[in-house]
A and B are shown apart, each in its own frame.
Chain A
């Protein structure tokens, strides 16, 4: 009797669909990956049913001569359902291990049913088990890939948001700008900061710029170089640059690293930098007569 490699699997999925779903859920409970705290029973059941249906559809159409690839059109439904489920699970804080184990738990109910099938034994059983294993493994690997992709997207979005958020140029006074730097200064951010700063200098015709590094945790040679390059560009534009917020710790590090700030003025606090800056543009700060 000619038989395709997936005939037995398809028979199981068709004749005992809800049984497999129930047992799949049961295995998930046993393996401790069913997050009852995050998903209600009916939600999990609905997800599993959808996944299994899409999986069955893929097995029916997507396996030719024991070969298959989840990138084929036949697996489109499964990919779409998986993308939805993964997105939801990432959002609710499911770990990758839980996600993979969740898919791999499908093996147990399928194996059990293959074993119980009449006429399936010996070499045939092993062939069928191998087929199921390959299918479910591919399914699990694909799930993990989607899962990681989902996370990467979140990270990328947050990085982008941080880049935009973190470079404000503030006008402190007429012709005086300040740039409060916070966090780490890598090349991409330094470039963004510099362009933003130079553009603002042009727009506001600022004469003095205070770069405040109070919020920068560590200053190594690279960070220092970015700062000094920004200062040099500011000078070329015709404005003057004061670097403020140099803590005693950072001063020591910079000297130990042999960083030469050249003609760029540096101040320990933004307070002294501001008073210097105002003086440079011709203002003086004094207490009022009344006090």
Chain B
């Protein structure tokens, strides 16, 4: 796993920060590492922090959707947090509404939702 993307355990969820300069290879690697960690640590949720992501394309959108699908199968909810307005507009324009992910404003917001769930 390269240094640009980190996975940390916060309460009973895995916090994944995706950096702006993430490459396509790294994000595919992330899928594999993350699915292993979810299964091993038996977490309730996965929090994808994309607040530093300024540009998205269909590929990144699809990977996020796939990450959510994988977590769901492993019994963890995915929360996408900190999406920038421009990124949200772009994803909607690309027709990627990410229906299988949950969203939250911030890490705190996501954790409080996870606790309630």
Residues of A participating in the B interface, judged by any CB pair closer than 8 Å = 194-195, 198-199, 201-202, 205-207, 229, 232-239, 263
Give A191's nearest chain B residue, CB to CB: B89
Complex alpha-carbon distance, A229 and B89, angstroms: 8
Q: Closest chain B residue to A233 by CB distance?
A: B88
A205 to B98 CA separation, bound complex (whole angstroms): 21
B-side interface size class: 20 to 34
Task: Name the prevailing secondary structure of the B interface residues.
Answer: mixed
| Nearest chain A residue, comparing its CB with the CB of B82 | A238
Q: Determine whether the beta carbon of B89 is less than 8 Å from that of A238.
A: no
Asked if B14 CB lies within 8 Å of chain A CBs, one says no
Within 8 A of A (CB), among B86-101: 87-89, 91-93, 97-99
Of B3-11, B24-32, B104-112, the one contacting chain A is B104-112
B103 within 8 A of A: yes
Query: Given contacts A232-B92, A232-B97, A233-B92, are A238 and B85 in contact (CB under 8 A)?
Result: no
Q: Please give, as numbers and ranges, the residues of chain B lying within 8 Å of A195 by CB-CB distance.
A: 85, 89
What are 13 A-B pairs at a CB distance below 8 A? Answer: A198-B89, A201-B85, A202-B85, A205-B105, A229-B92, A232-B97, A236-B83, A236-B97, A237-B83, A237-B85, A238-B81, A238-B83, A238-B104
Partner of A199, one of B80, B85, B106: B85
Q: Are A238 and B92 in contact (CB under 8 A)?
A: no
Chain A residues whose CB sits within 8 angstroms of the CB of B88 once the complex forms: 198, 233-234, 236-237
- CB A192 to nearest CB in B, in angstroms, measures 12
Complex-state Cα separation, A229 to B109, whole angstroms: 23
CA distance A187 to B83 in the complex (A): 23
Q: With A195-B85, A237-B85, A238-B81 known to touch, is A207 a contact of B109 (CB < 8 Å)? A: yes
- In the bound assembly, the distance between CA atoms of A201 and B81 in angstroms comes to 13
Residue contact A233 to B89, C-beta cutoff 8 Å = yes
B72 in the interface (beta carbon within 8 A): no
Are A205 and B85 in contact (CB-based, < 8 A)? no
- Asked if B106 contacts A236 (CB within 8 A), the reply is no
Known: A229-B92, A239-B103. 6 other contacts (CB 8 A): A201-B105, A205-B109, A234-B88, A236-B83, A236-B103, A237-B83
